């Protein structure tokens, strides 16, 4: 068993040969994280992507090929780490979520792991924070109707995060399983949202902001038709984070303004793997730091391709430790 936080040796107190390992449990990080902390960490991370080299993520699988995990390394001028995000589809039968994440932070003075943070719940906030940041930078300021495609664990986090940056008055839920879509709409309504289950076509016809949070693959049809999207719509594509995944119709990528976390990674494993070679991908960090414009006119259709950036995991982990009054 890993040592508890009580056995951590702060960096400043270490002497040559001494070593302390900080272990922060899932219960601790879940109690610490909230939308505000996650969004602030996302802002720091995406600003850092402007100058930091993007370290490539790796998608692999366990002994059972259906069990997948992703390694997302990251490094800043002062810290480095790697997040391991797992997807074990049979976990619900064991009473466990399909998704989990563990963040490892290095002690850069000796090259050993200084901290292990279980961040399953925190990762859901982290993913939704990237969506909220993109909506804040790219969606029309008067956007008030949100459509969410997907009825899994992540969907409610996306709704809450987006509702913090835009005056969302209606939430439209779309799912291939109508019963699950209805159940999610009921849960969102209980949380105070005006939510209902609708068809994909109706959602696209009414939405100002669309969030896709699914596990859709290229061997299934896109979630909606390109011609259903109204001028002025913003779309955050959150689900395509591995080769072979796809949520959006490729025709949409040819006409919308495309934004992403890291262009090289987005082309390799994000929604943009299905874009044409000459498609222009604009890093969201460039918009955040005013290097380029986001939405130029109200009629623009904007797409944010979120393949997941390791710097966001690093910044979130450091923010959680700061809230614990712990430094590495």
Other C-beta atoms closer than 10 Å to the C-beta of 43 total: 17
Rounded distance between C-alpha atoms, residue 280 and residue 270, angstroms: 14
Residues forming a β-bridge with 81: 74, 105
Q: Which is it for the CA torsion 271, 277, 283, 284, positive or negative?
A: negative
Element at 60 (helix H, strand E): strand 58-61
Q: Which two tokens stand for residue 58?
A: 């790796």
DSSP code per residue over 76-96: -SS-EEEEEEEE-TTGGGGT-
Known active-site residue 83: yes
The residue with tokens 């951590």 is 8
Q: Which of 83, 170, 322, 323 is flagged as catalytic? A: 83
User: Can you tell me the distance from the alpha carbon of 92 to that of 137, in angstroms, rounded to the nearest whole number?
Assistant: 36
Q: Six-digit token pair at 243?
A: 């080769």
Alpha-helix runs per DSSP H in the chain: 26-32, 35-48, 120-138, 155-163, 178-190, 200-206, 250-253, 263-269, 284-288, 310-323
CA angle (282, 261, 65) in 5-degree steps: 130
Torsions phi, psi for 257 (to 5 deg): -85, 125
Residues 63/44, Cβ–Cβ less than 8 Å = no
Would you give the distance in Å from CA 299 to the centre of its chain? 26
Which of the residues are catalytic?
Answer: 83
């Amino acid at each position: 068993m890993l040592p508890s936080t009580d056995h951590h040796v702060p960096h400043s107190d270490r002497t040559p040969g001494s070593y302390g390992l900080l272990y922060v449990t899932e219960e601790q990080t879940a109690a610490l994280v909230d939308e505000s902390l996650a969004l602030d960490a996302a802002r720091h991370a995406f600003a850092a992507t402007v100058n930091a080299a993007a370290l490539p993520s790796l998608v692999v699988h366990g002994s059972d090929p259906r069990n997948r995990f992703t390694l997302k390394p990251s490094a800043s001028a002062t810290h480095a780490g790697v997040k391991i995000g797992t997807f074990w589809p049979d976990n619900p039968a064991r009473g466990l979520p399909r998704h989990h994440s563990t963040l490892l932070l290095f002690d850069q003075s000796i090259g050993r792991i200084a901290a292990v943070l279980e961040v399953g719940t925190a990762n859901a906030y982290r993913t939704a924070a990237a969506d909220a940041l993109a909506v804040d930078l790219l969606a029309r300021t008067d956007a008030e109707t949100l459509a969410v495609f997907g009825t899994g664990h992540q969907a409610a986090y996306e709704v809450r995060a987006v509702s913090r940056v835009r005056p969302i008055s209606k939430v439209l839920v779309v799912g291939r399983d109508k019963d699950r879509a209805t159940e999610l709409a009921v849960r969102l309504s209980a949380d105070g949202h005006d939510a209902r289950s609708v068809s994909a076509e109706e959602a696209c016809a009414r939405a100002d902001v669309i969030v896709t949070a699914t596990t859709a693959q290229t061997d299934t049809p896109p979630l909606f038709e390109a011609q259903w999207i109204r001028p002025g719509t913003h779309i955050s594509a959150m689900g395509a984070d591995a080769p072979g995944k796809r949520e959006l119709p490729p025709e949409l990528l040819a006409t919308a303004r495309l934004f992403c976390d890291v262009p090289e990674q987005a082309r390799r494993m994000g929604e943009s793997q299905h874009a044409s070679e000459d498609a222009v991908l604009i890093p969201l960090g460039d918009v955040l730091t005013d290097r380029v414009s986001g939405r130029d006119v109200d009629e623009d259709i904007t797409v944010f391709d979120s393949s997941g950036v390791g710097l966001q995991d690093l910044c979130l982990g450091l923010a959680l430790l700061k809230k614990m009054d712990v430094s590495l």
